[in-house]
Structure 1
Amino acid sequence: MDLNKVSVVRWFEDTNKHSCGYCKSENSISQGMWAESLTVDDYQELIDRGWRRSGKYCYKSLMEQTCCPLYTIKCDVINFLLSKSQKKVIKRFNKFLKDGNIKYEDNIQFEEPDNHSDLHQNHPKMNLSDLSASISNSIQQNNLTSIETPSTSNTDEIDLNEMDNSQQKTEKICDKASNSSQLKVNTKTPLKVGVGADPTKPPCKKAKILRIERKKAKGLQFQKSPPVSNQKSLEQFLEEVSQNDKKKLRPKQFPEGIDGPGYGSFHQQYWINDRLIAVGVIDILPRCVSSVYFFYDPDYRSLTLGTYGSLREVQLTRYLQKNLPHLSSYYMGFYIHSCPKMRYKGKLTPSYLVCPETYHWVPIEKCITLLEANKYSRLEEDIDAIDENLPTQRDISEIQVVYQRHLMHYDDFDEFGDESEKFKLIANFIGKKCCRSLIFWEQ
């Protein structure tokens, strides 16, 4: 067997508490393993059971014990609905491409919200193929280390006239409503004279003005920061990362007859006028496009590039799905309801969370009430539903182990020492399918 063509991992038994990146406590608990190599098929099975990778390290939260449970979240790109705020992000980016101007005032209303107030709204449906032309002739991609954007034509350009017309109609209706329902004041009752504003305090400012001033101050802070001699540009950083294949998934070609980059790890580059402004790190897997990381030039932070990048990745997933029907989801990593700053991931509609007990996908609208009551919850409503991928004792016995340079099944390895509890735990974490494909390196 060629170990370079299969998944080889080393299991970490340590589950001690460590610092949490979300609530900053010392109560984060997860299970981990180091992947010397990892195929796209195995990683697909792992992320559907709540796993996630950071380079070669794969981890899964111990949901009932950790301070901030991590729920895997995905978006159904076939039925994707573009929200009003997302349309505005697209329009603002297109406006920037046209005139090159960025206004701080335009950016205020697009900050990521801290609640799910619009999760239950009916978003207007929009053909996401429009996105493919929003930065045509402005985004350049290379093979191997980046993904080639689908070709665009005049018919694919973003058409927001329909939205503008509907918005104008809404404004007219609002104007009529405001004219017909003017406030009536009872002049018979004398008004009391107030004490007025406190002269010792500065005049009040609207919250929007305060946010604008904070944005401008932050921008000046970036400009005044002294240059760092060893600071690397995005291009230099990307070149170094692209030359290091150790942290990437093992690539795999698409089925015969289907054009495309194939399965594996890629960088989606965003260029404007020969300047690299952002990079999206993604994994293309058999059933999804998984967003790993997204970083951008801070000079363009006012364009809400994080949101725009996610919309571009949704569009890429829809493009691939046309020839690969099973590749129909966009994975956004983890949804952490106990951390308000991470709830923005639920804004892509429709979104689903994986149940930590049955590993079935549940619409996020049905999960919010449960997560408001308890940070950990079984999301599956059917009390009789079970984990169909739960391994049996026979599956455990078929786990492959490399020990003393010999490849053997767990039954043979067990003769060197009783590791039954350890491998039973491993099997429950990785599932039945991965029991037959992952190879564990034991020292």
Structure 2
Amino acid sequence: MAKRNKERGEPSVVEDQGLYASSCGYCKSDTKTSVSYGLWAHSLSVYDYQDLLDRGWRRSGMFLYKPEMNKTCCPAYTIRLKADSFCPSKEQNRVMHRMQRYLDGSYTGPASTGKEDSGVTGQQISAEVDRCMQGGSQRMDFCDMNCDRTSKISNLTGRCNDMVNIEKVLSSAIQDVIIACCMAGHLPADLEVPRIVLQKLKPTMRKRIKTSTTGEVVYSCNVSFLVAAALSKHKEVDTVLKNLQQSQDCLKNQNNGSRKFSPLQLAELFASRLQMRIEMHDYVVEACNGHLNFLVQNRPSLDVASAEDLHPSKRGNGDSSCSSKPQTESSVSPSLTQHLRPKRILEVRMRRSAFDPEEFALYKRYQIAVHHDKPEDVKESSFVRFLVNSPLNFVPPSRSGTAFCGFGSFHQQYLIDGRLIAVGVVDILPSCLSSKYLFWDPDFAFLSLGKYSALQEIQWVQKAQTVCSSLEYYYLGYYIHTCPKMRYKGAYRPSELLCPVKFQWVPFDIAEPLLNIQPFLCLSDHFDETIRQTRKTDYVKDTQSAVKESTETNTKTTKTENLKPDVSYLSGAGSSSKESEDVNNILLKLGNQFLQFKRLQTWTAVPQKFKDALACDLRKYSQVVGHVLASKMAYVLD
């Protein structure tokens, strides 16, 4: 607890916006029927935001909002999934397999087979978008996914490009790890990251390198030696060395008493942080004598094709008239073309939330093609306000159990062969990854990137939990039962919905039939009743005479009149609990001063009328955030 309080730092600062009504984007009502409570967050700790999520809050940029469930037209329930309990459906497995086939080269999109998704293709949508944008987006050079030129020469060239791409991926991963180590305090923040050079090993050299795991060393990197040389010249060499040796990843290969940096230490540090970044590319990294060795297991050889393969005119009797004719896959054996088919590289990057022109260009294309926004309405300022700005205070990764990227707001970028195809805006919190928004390239609509990214985020949580044990949930945002477009969230099972009255989590399978009867109710009461009835049913099954009585009892509990929730807490009526009445301990921010409300009440210079009005506002504020958070977050006074 002491460590957690230390990491919190300064208290969160919020400004009350009160109740507000707006038009609803879900039911498309003509009037302002969507009612929520709002807060403007000047700064917010990840711990406080985690607690707010568990009371039904969400954020949009710096703005926090919570639907007023008994007043709003479309009640929105927070939905989450425990990642290690996730059971993918057949459809979700198909999405993963489709992506894998696309990366393998065995599937090139809807045009490749009549059995795939039908309708307007991503390319057709993209062409229309480009016409609408009036040339505003930057020119990008892409390979045609529906290209019919499947000659052996182009396939071999694809293999060469594939090697160049994986070298870029590995180099980028090494650079990201060094930067992350600087942010975590293991290395100085002002360290100049050296140029990353990967050496591709010849087959004869690969066999001589001993590895602790089965596999073949394909690439090696000496960046640890370059970093060690730079650190030895650093002005705060002793402090840096101490921080490095205190890292739990550097307990091995320490040079106690030495003021020199060991490349062995650095290689161990980098390797431990590299693995999770590159494993999606089937590579394993090992630290060996200060070098970073990258191994591939169970892979066909990636050696560059021979000159004879790349220049068919040099084969046989040299008849160029025959050799110059392109060879299609039908003229080559199937087993050969399977190995020659070019593979695509998928890279997933987790980056701190910041403006990126490439991201904005993708966002604009997405909004125009998918949501039919007018080009002039998609502005950079709204993109920054909605998806870049965040009140969350970043918590860097450390040995104390934070996630390997730290806590805060991030953009998870998806790239195929270096091309940005999707961006997931997420918040990494002490207990969860909270998915906020996703935008993707219309050209890749056939890959179902919305579903695929959700599955990737679930996998990310599963991996992160090995580093941060408390990070075990995946939050999918709001679930609105009356909105058909929201139904897909219930397909990620076994999920839970947050009870809007008692703030307890209720299994989705229990909540769903109740929501079919009434869109807003106290889920917890009926969950408890279901458990009681289940236990009672199990008990009376032991005696046949009680079966009829048990069945009648279960039938009675499904009547609609029993589903009416107690919503008195929402208006404060009839409530005398500490949460709704005791406002004395609420933390206030007046200028640069923090004080509790009970202290302000003693100030005779403040008019009593102002105090009474403030007490009324604070009571409502305490009801929506909870008295615990109200006593920790600073409430701004004008």
TM-score computed with the length of structure 1 as normaliser: 0.68
8 Å contact kept, 2:8–2:47: no
Could you list the per-position Cα deviations for residues 79-98 of structure 1 after superposition, in whole angstroms to 9, with x for gaps in the alignment? 11011001100111111112
- Count of residues in correspondence between the two structures: 342
Question: Which segments of structure 1 move beyond 4 Å, counting only runs of 4 or more?
Answer: 1-4, 136-145, 153-157, 227-232
Cα 1:95–1:45 shift into 2, 3 Å: same
Could you list the per-position Cα deviations for residues 376-429 of structure 1 after superposition, in whole angstroms to 9, with x for gaps in the alignment? 011113379x99xx7547863211111254321111234532122211111111
Q: Identify the match of residue 87 of structure 1 among 77, 93, 98.
A: 93
The residue type paired with residue 630 of structure 2 is: C
The residue type paired with residue 64 of structure 2 is: C
* Whole-Å separation in 2 of the counterparts to 1:2 and 1:252: 7
Cα 1:438–1:246 shift into 2, 3 Å: same
| 1:152 to 2:279 alignment | yes
* Whole-Å separation in 1 of the counterparts to 2:20 and 2:513: 31
Could you list the per-position Cα deviations for residues 19-61 of structure 1 after superposition, in whole angstroms to 9, with x for gaps in the alignment? 0111011210000000001110000000000000000000000
8 Å contact kept, 1:391–1:431: no
| 1:401 to 2:576 alignment | no
Flag the structure with larger Rg.
2
SS at match of 1:41: helix
SS at match of 1:358: coil
Cα 1:241–1:405 shift into 2, 3 Å: closer
| 1:433 to 2:628 alignment | yes
* Whole-Å separation in 2 of the counterparts to 1:356 and 1:231: 34
Q: Identify the match of residue 75 of structure 2 among 65, 69, 76.
A: 69
* Whole-Å separation in 1 of the counterparts to 2:91 and 2:64: 34
* Whole-Å separation in 1 of the counterparts to 2:8 and 2:502: 32
Question: 1:10 matched to which residue of 2?
Answer: 15
SS at match of 2:85: coil
* Whole-Å separation in 2 of the counterparts to 1:305 and 1:377: 33
The residue type paired with residue 305 of structure 1 is: L
SS at match of 2:393: coil
* Whole-Å separation in 2 of the counterparts to 1:229 and 1:393: 46
Cα 1:391–1:94 shift into 2, 3 Å: farther
Could you list the per-position Cα deviations for residues 182-228 of structure 1 after superposition, in whole angstroms to 9, with x for gaps in the alignment? xxxxxxxxxxxxxxxxxxxxxxxxxxxxxxxxxxxxxxx97xx9x97
Q: Identify the match of residue 252 of structure 1 among 392, 395, 408.
A: 395
8 Å contact kept, 2:579–2:623: no
Question: 1:28 matched to which residue of 2?
Answer: 34
Cα 1:307–1:246 shift into 2, 3 Å: closer
Could you list the per-position Cα deviations for residues 346-391 of structure 1 after superposition, in whole angstroms to 9, with x for gaps in the alignment? 110110000011101000000011101111011113379x99xx75
Pick 1 or 2: higher relative contact order, CA cutoff 8 A, min separation 6.
1
The residue type paired with residue 436 of structure 1 is: S
* Whole-Å separation in 2 of the counterparts to 1:24 and 1:408: 44
Could you list the per-position Cα deviations for residues 115-138 of structure 1 after superposition, in whole angstroms to 9, with x for gaps in the alignment? xxxxxxxxxxxxxxxxxxxxx959
Cα 1:231–1:36 shift into 2, 3 Å: closer
Q: How does 1:30-429 map to 2 (within 5 A)?
A: 30-99=36-105, 101-103=108-110, 105-107=115-117, 150-152=277-279, 154=282, 246-256=389-399, 258=401, 260-380=404-524, 381=526, 382=528, 391-392=578-579, 396-414=583-601, 416=606, 417-418=611-612, 419-429=614-624
RMSD, matched Cα: 3.9
Cα 1:74–1:391 shift into 2, 3 Å: farther
Could you tell me how far 1:338 is from its partner in structure 2? 1.0
Long gaps (5+) in structure 2: 1-5, 120-164, 184-272, 285-295, 297-367, 533-565, 570-576
8 Å contact kept, 1:70–1:336: yes
What percent of counterpart residues are identical? 34
SS at match of 2:65: strand
The residue type paired with residue 27 of structure 2 is: C
SS at match of 1:247: coil
* Whole-Å separation in 1 of the counterparts to 2:516 and 2:437: 27
Could you tell me how far 1:248 is from its partner in structure 2? 4.6
8 Å contact kept, 2:580–2:623: no
Cα 1:230–1:408 shift into 2, 3 Å: closer
